[in-house]
Amino acid sequence: MEFGKLEREIRIDAAPEIVFDVVSRPEHIKMWWPDDASFEPAPGAVGELVFGAHAAVEPITVVDVDPPRKFAFHWIASDGQLPDADNSLLVTFELEPSGDGTILRLTESGWREKGWEAAVLEEAFHDHERGWDMFLPRLRSYAPSVVAQ
């Protein structure tokens, strides 16, 4: 199996403008993904996602903000480093209108560039697959409850 890019696609019963807010604003992201989030949805902004009872903190760097079409950030950098194009994974949410809803395409790339040994790469890739497979349905359920701002 090739571990170069993790991809998922789901349809959400909410307008792209709402889905964009749900994937790009901390107050919405923490409703379906991490336990807490803090960042400004602006290119170059640095923030963090907090996961679990042990408060695992993952720094993020926002890369692309193009409402209501695209939101992207770097994360999973080496310990103590800010995530950037050379040391981290890139998560991209691309949104496309579909009737009265939205098609969301998630891509997580940069796996081979991490330089992990094969077993570590495979384990991390599968861990993220399981994670996105758990969290994206939560996004799909949460987004229709959000009122446009």
Using one digit for the tens of pLDDT, what is the confidence trace for 26-66?
999 999 999 999 999 999 999 999 998 777 899 999 999 99
**Alpha-carbon distance 1 to 73, whole Å?**
25
Q: What beta strand segments (E) does the chain contain?
A: 5-12, 36-38, 46-51, 56-66, 70-75, 89-98, 101-109
Token pair recorded at residue 130: 């399981």
- The closest alpha carbon to 109, from 73, 141, 146, 135, belongs to 73
Q: Are 113 and 89 in contact (CB under 8 A)?
A: no
Q: Global pTM? A: 0.95
Residue in the block written with tokens 């994206």: 136
Instruction: For residue 35, give the 3-state DSSP assignment.
Output: coil
Go through the domains of the chain in sequence order and give each one's CATH number: 5-23+66-144 (3.30.530.20)
Q: Are 95 and 107 in contact (CB under 8 A)?
A: no
At 139, which helix (H) or strand (E)? helix 118-142
**Alpha-carbon distance 61 to 43, whole Å?**
8
pLDDT at 1 over 90: no
pLDDT at 98 over 80: yes
**Alpha-carbon distance 31 to 142, whole Å?**
7
Rounded alpha-carbon distances, angstroms, from residue 80 to 27, 34, 60, 76, 77: 25, 20, 12, 11, 8
- Give the mean pLDDT of the chain: 94
pLDDT at 97 over 70: yes
